[in-house]
Amino acid sequence: MNDKITVSTLKKLKKDGIKITALTAYDYPTAKILDEIGIHFILVGDSLGMAVLGYESTIPVTMDDMVRHTKAVAKAAKNAFVVADMPFMSYNISKEDALKNAARLLAEGGTQAVKLEGGVEIAETVKAIVNAGIPVVGHIGLTPQSVNQLGGYKVQGKDDKTASKLKSDAKSLEDAGICALVLECVPMDLAKEITESLSIPTIGIGAGPYCDGQILVLHDMLGLTQGHKPKFVKQYANISQIIKDAVGNYISDVQNRLFPTEEYSFANRKSDEK
């Protein structure tokens, strides 16, 4: 990739039938690797709460957390489209708060777009942010910031009533001006129907193969996440075990006086005596 990916690029990828690839990143070195390998879309997700900060949910993540991590990722992403999550309650109190916080993620964090969770109920807020010149990515289905209201991490839209609500949400968000829509944990036939009804690209996570693109939490697909692994996660490596093996070898080498050797040491001082 030689050109910076933009909102227009994402729409063209959908139009051309090219699947959009997306992953999360929370720091400079990781984002640099993803960017160099050619990922289309990097999300600085509030999932950093669990993946990096040790929280049990996304709820405690703050605007300061998001700005700090977004800034690191944006510095590394020369080509990929960077999106930053707006954290819990950063856009729900008032449009003024939403605009101020979205602007921080652009001006201080360097993101290209912000992502908001919710449907019809946040459409007017989305419209206000878009009208201010800030691209917005929508997120419906399983919305982690509302996990307590949803009754846990469950598939959404399994019956006609909730499926109809998600379709209405998608349309209202598109009308409000979003540039892309994340569909999380919805049946694949519903995801297909929503995808085909929209002119903007859909990015699926646990939403089947018919979305315009796919996203995973990087730590999940690399085997760095501890505990439960969601059904929709394909683990492509076990980095956790690689790190454990490497650190175990390091501990052994140090304790057995095998490291450092002369190879990893500086030469002795030269004597000043003649």
* C-alpha span between 135 and 272 (Å, rounded): 66
Spatial CA neighbour of 45 closest among 19, 22, 63, 25: 25
Task: State pTM to two decimals.
Answer: 0.94
The annotation places the binding site for Mg(2+) at 46, 85, 117
| Residue set of the binding site for 3-methyl-2-oxobutanoate | 46-47, 85, 115
* Residues 6 or more apart in contact with residue 9 via CB below 8 angstroms: 3, 40, 81
List the structure tokens of 270: 């030269």
Rounded mean pLDDT for each run of 10 residues along the chain, 274 residues in total: 87 98 98 98 97 94 98 98 98 97 98 98 98 98 80 84 97 98 97 98 98 98 88 96 98 98 94 64
Binding residues, by number, are 46-47, 85, 115, 117
Query: What is the dotted CATH code of the domain comprising 7-238?
Result: 3.20.20.60
**pLDDT at residue 234, rounded to an integer:** 97
Residues assigned a catalytic role: 184
Q: What is the pLDDT of residue 274?
A: 55
The domain locations on the chain are 7-238
